[in-house]
């Protein structure tokens, strides 16, 4: 499958930038192994969209959060999900990075 694409593409499926969630994406060449690169027009980040992997990943992350709330340990969670502890830790880092820190200044100061 070869695509000779113009510089601006409208996507039928919703893709969005992993950094800023903008859907304002343009195709931006291909990687050495033929994967489509995208470029975000909002934050100028370049990335590759992994269709199946993204779905898998977000689902896994939700399960990890669920298990964490249930008080399941790292090893148990990894075993239940069928992934290695190393992979699980990578997911946890991804989750942690995705969590927005609440603003500290809320009109009160604790000193």
Binding site for Zn ion (CB under 5 A): 17, 19-20, 22, 40, 42-43, 45
Sheet bearing 46-48, strands edge to edge: 25-30, 36-40, 46-48
Q: Which is nearer to Zn ion, 8 or 80 (CB)?
A: 8
Give min distance, CB of 38 to Zn ion, in A.
10
Rounded distance between C-alpha atoms, residue 107 and residue 111, angstroms: 13
CA-based max dimension of the chain: 63
CB nearer to Zn ion: pick between 73 and 98: 98
47 vs 65, beta carbon nearer Zn ion: 47
């Amino acid at each position: 499958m070869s695509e000779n694409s113009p510089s601006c593409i409208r996507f039928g499926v919703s893709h969005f930038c992993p950094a800023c969630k903008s859907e304002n994406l343009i195709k931006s060449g291909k990687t050495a192994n033929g994967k489509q690169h995208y470029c975000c027009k909002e934050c100028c980040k370049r990335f590759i969209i992994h269709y199946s992997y993204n779905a898998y990943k977000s689902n896994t992350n939700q399960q990890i959060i669920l298990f964490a709330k249930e008080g399941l340990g790292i090893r148990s969670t990894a075993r239940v999900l069928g992934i290695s502890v190393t992979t699980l830790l990578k997911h946890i880092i991804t989750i942690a990075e995705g969590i927005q820190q609440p603003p500290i200044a809320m009109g009160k100061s604790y000193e």
